[in-house]
Structure 1
Amino acid sequence: MPMPEQHDAFADVLAANQEYAAEFDLGHLVPGAARGLAIVTCMDSRIEPLDMLGLTPGDAKIIRNAGARVTEDVLRTLALATHLLGVERIMVVAHTNCKMASATRDQVIDIVEQASGIDVRSLDFRLVSDQHETLEVDVQKIRSWPFFPPGIAVGGFVYDVATGRVERVT
């Protein structure tokens, strides 16, 4: 049975969009990545991918998920970006103080179940036990995936949420 619509649940963001649209000036941008860059990073709100790398809208393709993990869907999206949108280099950017790198599977399950009562034991949260090792594995997934053009540049990085600095790891 579908849930009833919650019209006012989004009223604040729709109102803000009206103001944004009134001054919108990005319609001239082309779909490609002007700087040939794709960034895979975490969904953490403390990360502002464009600002932290001196980029502007249109410069890069940004893919976000919990923990900045390179999943099959990320690989599919990157393949499209490299073949259709001018991406020639890929940054995988994890960050300090990431919940996916600091919580155990049991802790995450307990938090979700206590908050919602929903049994989430069947989900793979792709938690990270060693951030640097995970970055190396995820970067290698990209480098070895056969659907990218030859010579694609790939690097693994960690963003420090306390200082704003990005460190190359791999």
Structure 2
Amino acid sequence: MDSFDDLIAANEAYAAAHDVSGFDGVARAGVAIVTCMDSRIQPLEMVGLGLGDAKIFRNPGGRVTPQALEALVLGVHLLNVSRVLVVPHTRCAVASNTEAELRRRVAESAGGDASWQPIHVVADQDEALAEDVRKVRTHPLIPDTVQVGGFVYDVDTGLLDQRL
């Protein structure tokens, strides 16, 4: 467990200052963000929110997957979500490589066959964003009163570009 010692120590410092005990877990700002797992993205900070303000769902490419839709339905009906941001980003690995290239790189790193591992690339980021926003807007359990926007986050400038 030594490889986690630094993280456990950091957690103990975090817990010492933790001041949201008893918080009910709703999205206080009414926001949900679907974005990429990229470590250059700080979802709350990029829109001026803090702990407890939003629900965050992250995956490679920031796609609206069935799991993301499940999270959004729960967020809308149980957790105070009234605005949804779908936010892929610039210089994304799954939007700038082919599936074959990513599989090759994973296979090299793993030292074995990776041809069986699903890797969902994004051939056209604008088209994928439009599809994902449409999925949320037309979902039968997400009412028309929920505002849904499509944005691209620029990892170099920190700016959001609203596209939809």
Shorter-normalised TM range: over 0.9
Q: 1:131 aligns with which of 120, 125, 133?
A: 125
Report if aligned partners of 2:34, 2:62 keep a CA contact under 8 Å in 1. Answer: yes
CA distance in 1: counterparts of 2:157 and 2:78, whole angstroms: 35
For residue 145 of structure 2, give the secondary structure of its aligned residue in structure 1. Answer: coil
Shift of 1:66: 0.7
Shift of 1:28: 4.5
CA distance in 2: counterparts of 1:164 and 1:55, whole angstroms: 15
**1:130-169 to 2 correspondence within 5 Å?**
130-169=124-163
Report if aligned partners of 2:33, 2:57 keep a CA contact under 8 Å in 1. Answer: yes
Shift of 1:14: 0.9
Distance 1:118 1:152, change over 3 A: farther
TM-score by length of 2: 0.95
Asked if residue 110 in structure 1 is aligned to residue 82 in structure 2, the reply is: no
CA distance in 2: counterparts of 1:84 and 1:65, whole angstroms: 22
Shift of 1:24: 1.1
Asked if residue 15 in structure 1 is aligned to residue 9 in structure 2, the reply is: yes
Equivalent pairs counted in the alignment come to 164
Shift of 1:44: 0.6
The aligned residue for residue 3 of structure 1 is none
Q: Percent identity at matched positions?
A: 48
The aligned residue for residue 66 of structure 2 is 72
Structure 1 counterpart of 2:109, one-letter code: A
Shift of 1:118: 3.9
CA distance in 2: counterparts of 1:118 and 1:11, whole angstroms: 30
